[in-house]
Structure 1
Amino acid sequence: MPQKILLYCDPGIDDSLAIIYALLNPEIELVGIVTSYGNVNQEQATQNVAYLLELGGKEDIVLIGGAKTPLSGEFTPYYPEIHGEEGLGPIKPPATIKGELLNFDAVFKLIEEYGDELIIVDVGRSTSLAISFNLAGAETMNSVKGFYIMGGAFLTPGNVTAGAEANFYGDPIAAGIVMEKAKNSVLYPLNVTKEAIITPTMIEEIVKEDNNPYQNLIKEIFDYYFKAYQKLIPGIEGSPLHDVMTLFAVTTPQAFKYVEKVVTVGLDEGNLRGVSIADFRPKPDEKGNKLTIALEVNTDTFAENFVKTMSSPISNNH
């Protein structure tokens, strides 16, 4: 049986490739997508998701409007130099949404419908997931099978500041709520996601045959993303697909090595903002909600799975 997933995201190139990966993966059944601000504003993120669903003839997947700003209400900077003006690199999706954008309470209807068959995957800022906990309460939210979250960095450099990863930095208050309240949670920090390198050679392999409606799009947005990363990290051989790796982990948890830790998130406006903190001492002083944290990954398994999945015909699970 494919795994039912409710995806929280903010597309963005990386998120868009993650959505395509989910739609092409026979082991995943995407039952809903919550769109939030992050890489682009919430309205643009919604248009991008609607465009991807329409391309694949998957407009029946529930589309839910998420957060437009962080819990602090502060201004959010976007990154057009990495994701393009509209979040899909050089692609300009149509401004119309054919499907219906549902209100936020649709999240709780899906949880009620699927219960412990559902995994919630959050690859964007934590705002919408934190709001879900604030509105429904921890008991309802934790009635799902578990949470797979992309965020944080442990004993490794951040990617927005020296210590902070982008999702946690974008809304540290929300990230802290999720770390404290989400049970059965697995966190995929930069430690593993920065290793999710996809190279131009892999993309060439994917587009060699015309198997699905996404192949041209995959190449165009990847090429844009790769050029952006070559400027950020001179000499890099490909682009890290942080969000795709988090979805890969749902179906292939054995590709990772994990530890269990209590995680807190720095709130201070200085150097600690958005920094994920866990106690790695031999005798840690830990009280609170323990999360499973992925610290190592088999990159060959990921790369093989990515090429195979993205070369596949569209899955009929949805």
Structure 2
Amino acid sequence: MLRVHFTAEDLLDVTFAEEPAPLMELGLALATLQRDDGLEPALHRWRRGLRCELPGAARALLEIVPPAANGPLFLDPPVADLEHGLERVMTTPRGFVESELHKVLDSRARPSSWTRGLMAREGAAWKGLHASLRSAYGSVLSRSWPGLRNGFHLERAWRVHQLSRAGLRGTLAAWEPDLRWRGTVLEVRHPRDFDIVPAGRGIRLLPSMCWTGRPLIANQPAGPTLLVYPALASLPQLAAAPADDPLVALLGFTRAYVLSVLTRPRNTSEIAAEVGISKSSASQHAAVLRRAGLVTSRRDGKAVWHSCTSAGLDLLAGQWRS
């Protein structure tokens, strides 16, 4: 369990990132590339294609980006400009590089000569890192970045609307049971047991279109504590969304369709029949919408009935964009 000990000052200073962070999204995409658990079919297809297309120059990054997306912090600065981000990476102090790489590599195989060169600040290794990051970004994100950015701003608008109506606790409740509050301490489901003390620098929320796992919390060396969470629509869903339909761009086509049919109660079988998907897929989409606070579900015998919440109706009505 990870425990984040927020102060009153932190909780009074909650902000949303203004723009997506290219290197942050790249790191999360490379982590997702290595995961097999609980991915939707669209993400499985995207991951298979990405594995085939990832250039050799970019594959070295998989050694230092673990599937859990828990570091190294110097590799994915949360800045909106790619060039600025690369500059930040390349000027990381040696001590911070060593400590972050040791955290990642402690549980992995013996580091390669390239990784040892990164820790030693060898020029050739760092030139290779720069080339790997550029190559990976070009392959994974460059073509889809405009759509990703559009999806980010729609996601941000929706969450700001939620924050204004439900406060931070209500907004973060979408990720239960991954997150739980005990007073001002936020507990996050995590394979390791440790504590983070933000020390009054605030909280910045950053949605990701490339990450579908548990929320991630990073105590930045300077600035607010970063809470990265999976957006309602993943990158593959955004790629298929029409630019002129904000609801589809926010949720993905199938999930938006599911929400639209739930303006009156439907059971899982009825959703599947109306949308033209399997019962298991209908159940999965309803579960995602439920975690987002857009749908409520109740069991009646063997059937599970689903319907829109007031937040879901707001979303369908477009009130979140006003």
Q: Report the TM range for the smaller structure's normalisation.
A: under 0.3
Larger Rg: 2
* TM-score using structure 1 length: 0.27
